[in-house]
Amino acid sequence: MSPTDPPAPWPRRTRRRRAAVAATSALLGALAWFGAVPPASAHVSLVQAVPLGDGSTGLTFELDHGCEQGEGTTGLDLTAAAGVTYLSADGPDGWAAVVSPTSVRWDGPAVPDGERVRFDLRAEVVGVPGDTVHLPVVQRCEQDAAYAWVDTDPASSTPAPSLVLTGAVISGATQPEPTGAGPLGVALTVAVAGLGLGAVGAVAASGRRSG
């Protein structure tokens, strides 16, 4: 083949293989971006945080394992992190929640080992975007056993559920106030002032013509 000859096309099988590899890489990248998979060792995880439009955020926790010896789970005790205020809570059918600003206690009939259930919570969140808050939880079991998911190290065997703060989940009342007028603010101020002066000049001119 001479230097001026076009390169030979990839064989069809090679093109298919390259396309499959690219699709797999894209899928893995999407999973990493959305953080859809909770830590494998966690029994209680925070799986969703949704702004509710009223300054509060809906938090959904998932229980994905029972206790040792196949015992069921009969309760969860959740503690608030600094800057988090609990407002209301709901749980699986038959479960009841007692809510205070700093804690939630869920109690109910035993959830069998291996059955996934979700617990919903409404909270106000104050903080700085990018910070991580940890929400320690104690899982109570039949026969009075309990497991504390309270470690702030995500690599721990007992990690606490955690939330990375974003501007969307932080309560509207706690958004940082502007520290000064930027270029846009200055431009708007000047424009409004100019309109005001123009209106004053028009009134004065009209007065002179009337006189």
**pLDDT tens sequence across 154-191:** 888 899 999 999 999 998 544 443 334 343 333 333 33
Most distant CA pair in the chain, distance: 99
Nearest to 125 by CA among 166, 184, 69, 158: 166
What percentage of the chain has pLDDT greater than the value 70?
61
Q: Give the confidence band of 67 by pLDDT, cuts at 50, 70, 90.
A: confident
Q: Specify the pLDDT at position 170.
A: 93
Element (H, E) at 106: strand 103-111
Instruction: Tell me if 73 is assigned to some domain.
Output: yes
Instruction: Tell me if 12 is assigned to some domain.
Output: no
Residue 160 corresponds to which tokens in the numbers above? Answer: 């606490």
Residue 45 belongs to domain spanning: 38-174
Instruction: Tell me if 8 is assigned to some domain.
Output: no
Q: Is the pTM of this model over 0.75?
A: no
The number of beta carbons lying within 10 Å of the beta carbon of residue 12 is 8
Instruction: Tell me if 90 is assigned to some domain.
Output: yes
Q: How many distinct structural domains can be found in the chain?
A: 1
- Give the amino acid at 140: R
At 90, which CATH number?
2.60.40.2230
Task: Answer whether 51's CB lies under 8 Å from 169's CB.
Answer: yes
